[in-house]
Chain A
Amino acid sequence: MFERQCTDWQFTREDLKRTPSVSCGWTAEREELDRAKACSLIYSASRKLQLPQITSASACVFLHRFFMRHTLKEYHHYNIAATCLFFACKSEESLRKLDNFIPVIVYYASKGNRKAPPGTAEFEKWRSVILRTEVILLQALCFDMVVNHPHAALIDLAASLSMPQRLTQMAWNFIADCMRLPLCLIYSPKAIACASIVLTTKVSSSDLSRASLGFLDFAWMEKAKISRSTIDEIVQWLLDFYAREARSRKTTSQGVADHTADHSHTPASSPGSAASPMPHVHPSPSSDPK
């Protein structure tokens, strides 16, 4: 029964060029950037709300899965980021009240420009968006809310390779960046963990990692049944992404200004209030199954 439901979340890189968003005008690059921004919001809000990392990681996976079935045109990535994080709070048993949750989301979505304490119109708007989108999210996820993360794989690998703590921490941080890319849709958690270790040894120039490069002779990867080319793909993707992000930071000095203005259908988002943290409400004909 559940097998019939499409809970196969394995996609290819080609699939990412044919997402719902791409079919309605987004370029693949822009979609990747929007997804990454949404995940950044998830991470900033999670830190402020002191959520466990598994919660933010699950939220990112939910978001990437959601946008394989819905468009960025219809659902603004910040709205989905907020909903995914709120839902992940529930599914990962780290509940936060909307009263505390929304103001934090608004703060980070507006880069600190706006506040939305409970009782304000802005708060209410966000709340209705999150609560309505929650059901749509759950449907899109086909009620599949158990996610395996690369973090666990990293811990196992690090232990078996007796990786130094400092390097493990570094690899852990790379995984957090991996979650911002739709890597989880394509590669196994183990492959992502392997790639983060490889990248760690590449960037860490200390003799510590030189020493540890010995055991990174990729024999262990064969044992883990992860191919060299897969690892290289992931590493390259992440490095490309860093470069692109750095470029886009330079060119768009206004920071978040670009993405909200793109939504011409967004109500009341004049160019001046581009960083408006108001939820992006649109009439959504597909939200009701009946």
Chain B
Amino acid sequence: MDVPQAILGEEINKETESLYKKEKKLGEGTYAVVYLGHHIKTKRKVGIKKIKLGNMRSGLDMSAIREVKALRELRHPNVIELIDVFSHKTNLNLVLEFLDTDLENVIKDKSLVFMPADIKSWMMMALRGLDHCHRCWLLHRDLKPNNFLIASDGQLKLADFGLAREFGDVKRAMTSQTVTRWYRAPELLLGATNYTGSIDIWAMGCVFAELLLRVPYLSGESDLEQLTTIFKARGTPTEDDWPGLSKLPMGFKFEKHPRPAFAELFHGASDDALDLMNRMLTYNPVARITAAEALQHPYFRNSPRPTQPAKLPRPKQEYVAEEEGLDSDGARRKRHYNDAFGDDVFSDGKGDSAVAHREGSGHSRDQDAQPTAKRMDLRISSPA
């Protein structure tokens, strides 16, 4: 480097900022405002997440730092892409891949019918993304359906890494107050401060169940009730199920519930699906299946084959972002944008014109359907 590099950082920052144009506000939470924008030259649609500067007491928001740190390390088709970061005055702006909808909307849209192959496809993509995180020694710590965003080509992507952090250092305690309650693993509810990727797997198991049931599986009203809800649904664990149970910080005295027959509740689910779900919702965190093991589970090998992402069901109705509320923890982000749900989303033969478009411009309605479907084949294992 020949020239003195004074204020280079700021120049780069300005340059980055000038690359993008904000179009409209998509939603607002306590921690961030999300805008729809585009890259001025390539016209690629992006989501710009403007992090509000927290209270002046502690400076830059911890979630923003976590999210930037995590996403810059992760590169995977099933993890949302962080395209750029820039700051404007004291605000941080994260330029993220624009994604049309999320799994929660898909689950809630009762006009959609899920085939077992569809659920398998979503689970496979979600587990691949999660496996990648865990391989990079990152815990997501807030998995739930509305943090699985869905691209216009049907790809499911893990998003919202505001709670993500590294794990692996056994000496360092981590908070047990993490993960949205319904998806929180029992060891967290019992106050564990040393945990691993197994907490993400529990959440993933809950999402799996939710895909089968179409309603949240374990929906407790409070932290304590959450445990009771889990025990009623899954049977109260014993020291046999979960060695070391009585040593957890919060002690253990609960009403004994028998382990119910799951096949009744999940009557539509195949045996291999139920087996995988039960392995993900195993009480003992050490015995719980890992993301890598889950991907090797017979469920993914047995028929039916997972649906190709582009052919997965997706909500047809138009979402108007501003009216969609955001819940108090600010974790929900709404990125729905009418344009992405054109009538022709599902039509197949868009032909070569769409291919020509794709190079420059990320996701837009022109490029849905077939070309993407060709590109994607779920049966090819991911490089990660």
Complex contact A286–B4 (CB within 8 A): no
Partner of B10, one of A2, A131, A143, A289: A289
Known contacts A2-B84, A131-B56; A288/B6 CB under 8 A: no
Complex contact B9–A139 (CB within 8 A): yes
Assess whether B172 is interfacial by the CB under 8 Å rule.
yes
Instruction: Sort chain B's interface into a size bin.
Output: 35 or more
Complex contact B7–A289 (CB within 8 A): no
Complex contact A86–B6 (CB within 8 A): no
Complex contact A69–B9 (CB within 8 A): yes
Assess whether A71 is interfacial by the CB under 8 Å rule.
yes
Chain B residues, CB < 8 A from A86: 59
Partner of A138, one of B60, B88, B166: B60
Interface pick from B65-73, B126-134, B337-345: B65-73
Assess whether A68 is interfacial by the CB under 8 Å rule.
yes
Complex contact A134–B5 (CB within 8 A): no
Complex contact B57–A1 (CB within 8 A): no
Known contacts A139-B13, A289-B17; A130/B6 CB under 8 A: no
CB nearest neighbor in B for A130: B59
A6 to B85, CA, bound (A): 13
Complex contact A69–B6 (CB within 8 A): yes
CB nearest neighbor in B for A128: B56
B352 to chain A, nearest CB (A): 28
Complex contact B65–A91 (CB within 8 A): yes
Partner of B60, one of A19, A135, A290: A135
Per the 8 Å Cβ criterion, residues 303-338 of B in contact with A are: none
B95 to chain A, nearest CB (A): 8
Assess whether A246 is interfacial by the CB under 8 Å rule.
no
A68 to B72, CA, bound (A): 22
CB nearest neighbor in A for B17: A289
CB nearest neighbor in B for A18: B4
Assess whether B250 is interfacial by the CB under 8 Å rule.
no
Complex contact B83–A1 (CB within 8 A): yes
CB nearest neighbor in A for B57: A98
Interface of A, helix, strand, loop or mixed by DSSP: loop
Complex contact A70–B7 (CB within 8 A): yes
CB nearest neighbor in B for A11: B1
Assess whether B62 is interfacial by the CB under 8 Å rule.
yes
Chain A residues, CB < 8 A from B69: 91, 145-146
Instruction: Sort chain A's interface into a size bin.
Output: 35 or more
Chain B residues, CB < 8 A from A87: 60
A22 to B89, CA, bound (A): 28
CB nearest neighbor in A for B19: A1
Known contacts A135-B60, A138-B87, A141-B9; A15/B1 CB under 8 A: yes
Assess whether A97 is interfacial by the CB under 8 Å rule.
yes
Chain B residues, CB < 8 A from A138: 60, 87, 92
A290 to B16, CA, bound (A): 13
CB nearest neighbor in A for B65: A90
Chain B residues, CB < 8 A from A290: 14, 17, 88-89
A70 to B7, CA, bound (A): 6
A195 to B262, CA, bound (A): 60
Complex contact A20–B6 (CB within 8 A): yes
A74 to chain B, nearest CB (A): 8
Complex contact A69–B7 (CB within 8 A): yes
Partner of B87, one of A4, A68, A97, A135: A135
Assess whether B347 is interfacial by the CB under 8 Å rule.
no
Partner of A146, one of B12, B72, B87: B72
Per the 8 Å Cβ criterion, residues 87-138 of A in contact with B are: 87, 90-91, 93, 95, 97-98, 130-132, 134-136, 138
Known contacts A135-B90, A139-B87, A143-B85; A286/B7 CB under 8 A: yes
Complex contact B6–A70 (CB within 8 A): yes
Assess whether B297 is interfacial by the CB under 8 Å rule.
no
Assess whether A142 is interfacial by the CB under 8 Å rule.
yes
Assess whether A230 is interfacial by the CB under 8 Å rule.
no
B367 to chain A, nearest CB (A): 20
B89 to chain A, nearest CB (A): 6
Per the 8 Å Cβ criterion, residues 50-101 of A in contact with B are: 52, 68-71, 86-87, 90-91, 93, 95, 97-98
CB nearest neighbor in B for A285: B7
Chain A residues, CB < 8 A from B59: 86, 98, 130-131, 134
Assess whether B8 is interfacial by the CB under 8 Å rule.
yes
A93 to B5, CA, bound (A): 30
Assess whether B58 is interfacial by the CB under 8 Å rule.
yes
Assess whether B25 is interfacial by the CB under 8 Å rule.
no
B312 to chain A, nearest CB (A): 28
A5 to B8, CA, bound (A): 10
Known contacts A131-B59, A289-B17; A146/B4 CB under 8 A: no
Known contacts A135-B87, A146-B72; A289/B9 CB under 8 A: no
Per the 8 Å Cβ criterion, residues 1-56 of B in contact with A are: 1-2, 4-10, 12-14, 16-17, 56
A-B contact pairs, 5 of them (CB 8 A): A23-B4, A69-B8, A136-B9, A138-B92, A146-B72
For the complex of A and B, list the 9 residue pairs with the smallest distance between their C-beta atoms, beginning with the closest: A140-B9, A20-B6, A143-B85, A23-B4, A139-B9, A131-B59, A139-B13, A134-B59, A69-B8
Interface residues of A (CB under 8 A from B): 1-2, 4-6, 11, 15, 18-20, 22-23, 52, 68-71, 86-87, 90-91, 93, 95, 97-98, 130-132, 134-136, 138-146, 286, 288-290
- Given A69-B8, A289-B89, output 17 extra A-B contacts at Cβ < 8 Å: A1-B84, A11-B1, A18-B2, A20-B5, A23-B6, A70-B7, A70-B9, A90-B62, A98-B58, A134-B59, A140-B9, A142-B13, A143-B68, A289-B10, A289-B87, A289-B88, A290-B89
